[in-house]
Amino acid sequence: MPLHPQRYRERGFNQSLEIAKIVSQLLKIPYSTTHCQRIKNTAHQINLTGKQREQNIKQAFKLSMPIKHKHIVIIDDVMTTGATANELAKTFKTGGVKRVDIWVCSRR
């Protein structure tokens, strides 16, 4: 799950990326941090309703290069409504990906 550069500077790390690195190593599958960027610095979603989350995250991602794979996985640490994962999946599908799986560590 890409973070906006400003959010990354605030946190100092991307928790989903750290999880993806471990999953990649254990399952011997590649991961990428270069194919998609978070271009919209969205408000924190913790206190937003489902509809507000959908609006907040709309058009937050952009593909930065073509994707040759037709099946990819998005890894996220926590899923609440799924708005962020759905928006990111839409972005990948617009870029030609046929199947997007979403793996999460925790569901609220």
Let me know: does 67 contact 92? Beta carbons within 8 Å.
yes
pLDDT tens digit string along 44-76?
A: 998 999 999 999 999 999 999 999 999 999 999
* Residue ranges per structural domain of the chain: 5-107
Residue-level pLDDT at 11: 94
Average pLDDT rounded to a whole number, residues 36-42: 96
Residue-level pLDDT at 108: 84
Q: Give kind and range of the element (H or E) at residue 5.
A: helix 5-11
Let me know: does 83 contact 45? Beta carbons within 8 Å.
yes
